[in-house]
Each structure stands twice: as C-alpha cells, then as structure tokens.
Structure 1
Amino acid sequence: MRIDFIRHGKTEGNLEMRYIGRTDEPLSFAGIAELAVISYPTCGKLVSSPMKRCLQTAELIFPDTAPVVCEALKECDFGDFEGRNYIELSLDSRYQRWIDSGGEGAFPNGELPDDFKKRCVDGFLSCIADMYDAEHLTFVVHGGTIMSIMEHFAVPKKSYYDWHTANGHGFVTEFDGKNITVTEKI
C-alpha cells in the first residue's frame, strides 16, 4: 500500500520555534505561501489530524478531497512547555532536565512521550484497518505524529528525531503491513 505523509504548513508558533501541540493554531500567511510552491504527489484517500493547521493544509493542497479525521493523530501535549520556545524555557530547570534526557523525558503536566508515540501508532493502524481496501492513503498530520509512525515501522530503523521533516514536506512510502519503506521525499 502506498502511504504519503505530509507535515502541516507553518504556523506563527512554528515561525517562533514554539512548542505547539494541543494549541489549535491556524496556518500563518508565510505557511500558506510556502505550501503553494511545493510540488505534491497525487492524493490517495485523505486522512488528517483534527487540528486547524492540518485541516487547512489538507484543504489547500487537495481542495477536491474531503479528509477522514483521526483524533488519535493529534500532536503531543507539551504540558507546561506548550506555547513557549527554548529561549523562554532556558531558565526552567524542568526544561533542562528534558533536554538532558535527549527529549525522552516527561513533559511537566503533559503527555508522556511513549504514550504519545503509542497513540500515534495505534491511530495509524486504526486508519489502515478502516481503509484496508485503499491502495493509496495520504496523511496530513504533525511532525511528531510522522516521527512516531516512522520510528516504529520504517526500515531501515532510525530514531524518532531522525524522521524530522520540515513543514509542508514529508515522505512517499510503501507499507507492506509490517514495514514502511521511503520511496521519495516530498
């Protein structure tokens, strides 16, 4: 099965390098403009996170295709780090502990990274099961969602952060039911 993963376009929070997870931000004007100049593959059955930034991206890229919305594919809840950037967090000892953990530690009052990753993988598998007869799926989701799915399924194996992709970009892949193989980058 062909599966395309596309990260949503830029928001103001992305431009300011803020941790934007549960905040339901729309795309920025710059983000909309950037999407207009990227060449996207044809759309398969379209799946989106319910967040504005993903739904807007899906509508701009694939205006003639209504997405199936999957709640489980939302971005991580960054807890007390939500809406703040590394400069604002630089004096917060909890942030330094999180950095020292290699980004694997818990977010204070937020979602545990392993719980987030499991939610994304389970959501992805649920979408696959619901659309088992599709030959091509296109996911417009968050960077963390893509990284979680790719870390779990992609071959060759890479770490979570190795699967980071820029806003509006992503991967064209093949999924055999067990492994994801990247065939090209978007």
Structure 2
Amino acid sequence: MPTVVLIRHGRTTANVTGVLAGRSPGVGLDDTGRAGAEALARRLEPVRPAAVVSSPLERCVQTATAIAAGRDVVADEGLIECDYGDWTGRPLGELRREKLWKVVQEHPSGVVFPGGESLRAVQQRAVDAVRRRDAELASSHGAGAVWFAVSHADVIKAVVAEALGLHLDHFQRLVVDPCSVSVVSFTERRPFVLRVNDTGGDLGFLRSPARRRRRATRSDAVVGGGAGDAAE
C-alpha cells in the first residue's frame, strides 16, 4: 500500500496566544507558520506525491499549497480539526480549570466535547479517511505511491496512535509540532510507522519508489531490526 506523509499545519497566532482555535474560520498561518511551511516545502521538494490532501481549514490549505509545488490540493472533511464545540475559541488557561480537562488528559477515549465531537469519533473518521484514500491511490498509482495529508495535531496523533496499536487513552503521549512530518506505510498485515514528529530529519527515503514498493508488499516486520532504509 502507499505511504502517507502526515503533516501538521504551520504555526498560527492562536497557537502562540493559547487559544483553542478548533474550526473557527479565518485562522491562518502567522509569519513563523508561513516560514515553516516554506522550509518544509524545500525538504519535500524531491518527493513526487501522488496526491496532496488537506483539511479544508485555512491554516491547513495554506500549508498544503506551500508544499504542493503547483499540484492540486484536494480538501477532505475526514482530516478536519476536532469539533471542540463550546470549547472553541476559548483560552487554554481557562479550559484547564474545567472538570473535562482532566478527562481529556487521562481518559480521552471517554471525551465528548460539549456541543461538539468525541475524540473517538475524530479517530474513526480520520483513520477511515486516510485508509480510504490510501486504497484509492494504491489502485491508481501503485503500492509504491507516496502522498501528503495535511491536518491538525489531535487528528494526526489519533491516526498515528491507531497505526502504533495504542489505545486512544495513550494518544496524549505523542507530540505533533507545527510543520512536523509523521510517516505511515500501510500493508496488508499491519501499518509501519516510519517517522513521528520529524521536524528536520532527512526525508530522502521517500524519493525511492523501489524501496516504497518493497515495503508496501512486505507485511512481515523485520526480526532483529534490520539494517535500516539505506540497506533496502
């Protein structure tokens, strides 16, 4: 199956001021966010993605456009930010005093945001969206295809947690920074998580269709760890 590059959008003013932006309209990248997206575009320039898919929210579309290098950006509602309901637009410092905050930290699988979405629903629709797109691209571009999915921190954490076999209650152990890259290769037997929260590492392994094809058709894990990408 293809390899998905999960990319968090660049930094926004809401990130800096500690406001839970959620699905609020008009939340775009700040100067640092735009610079980060441009730097990420340079890192990804050698990669030829089969598709560039994005959450429809502005900050993700801006990031996706920066890395798309003229390719079309396809919006996918499955990658949209969690609907935080009544928490949307409120300062995080204020939300920390809510009883639900402790549940978000310790038992996220039981969280339903007031007037909004449950984190279990977020994980389900995001994983479904990624796997559906992955299967479509395998059919149209082959098992060695690579594609970009630009989304939000909690959404990406939920997808990576599922790929790692982590219960959703452990997804808060993951960190996904602005403009970071997390890479998952799905196979018939299991997903392989190749990168998590990569903000500066070499992404050259994504340039080799032959390596991706070999990984995509090999569902067995390497016993003993193997010699790494360079030896494949």
Whether TM exceeds 0.5 here: the answer is yes
Partner of 1:31: 33
Q: Paired residue for 1:146, among 140, 156, 165?
A: 156
Q: Which has the higher contact order (CA 8 A, sep 6+)?
A: 1
Structure 1: unaligned runs, 5 residues or longer = none
Q: Is residue 43–residue 138 contact of structure 1 (8 Å, CA) maintained in 2? A: no
Q: Give the drift of 1:150.
A: 0.9
Moved more, 157-166 or 144-153: 157-166
For each residue in 1:157-183, what CA deviation from the matched residue of structure 2 results, as whole angstroms up to 9, or x when unmatched? 473123321001122332214533233
For each residue in 1:27-68, what CA deviation from the matched residue of structure 2 results, as whole angstroms up to 9, or x when unmatched? 112211232334533241211111111110011122311122
Partner of 1:5: 6
Partner of 2:210: none
Q: How does 1:76-91 map to 2 (within 5 A)?
A: 76-91=82-97
- How many correspondences in the alignment? 184
Pick closer, same or farther for the CA change 1:98–1:173 going to 2, 3 Å.
closer
Q: Is residue 10–residue 178 contact of structure 2 (8 Å, CA) maintained in 1? A: yes
State the structure with more CA Rg.
2
Letter in 2 for 1:149: V
Partner of 1:119: 125
- Aligned-residue Cα RMSD (Å) equals 2.2
Letter in 1 for 2:192: T
Q: TM-score, normalised by structure 2?
A: 0.70
Q: Give the drift of 1:5.
A: 0.9
Q: Is residue 163–residue 193 contact of structure 2 (8 Å, CA) maintained in 1? A: no
Q: Give the drift of 1:99.
A: 4.7
* Alpha-carbon distance in 2 for matches of 1:117, 1:37: 29
Pick closer, same or farther for the CA change 1:10–1:64 going to 2, 3 Å.
same
Query: Helix, strand or coil: the match of 1:20?
Result: coil
Structure showing the higher helix proportion among its residues: 2
Pick closer, same or farther for the CA change 1:72–1:100 going to 2, 3 Å.
closer
Q: Give the drift of 1:128.
A: 1.8
Structure 2: unaligned runs, 5 residues or longer = 200-232
Q: Paired residue for 1:181, among 192, 200, 217?
A: 192
* Alpha-carbon distance in 2 for matches of 1:100, 1:160: 9
Letter in 2 for 1:33: A
Query: Helix, strand or coil: the match of 1:37?
Result: helix
Pick closer, same or farther for the CA change 1:52–1:177 going to 2, 3 Å.
farther
Pick closer, same or farther for the CA change 1:3–1:84 going to 2, 3 Å.
same
Q: Paired residue for 2:183, among 157, 167, 172?
A: 172
Identity of aligned residues (%): 26
* Alpha-carbon distance in 2 for matches of 1:81, 1:98: 14
Partner of 2:174: 163
Partner of 1:16: 17
For each residue in 1:108-129, what CA deviation from the matched residue of structure 2 results, as whole angstroms up to 9, or x when unmatched? 1111111111111111122123
Partner of 1:49: 55
Letter in 2 for 1:118: Q
Q: TM-score, normalised by structure 1?
A: 0.86
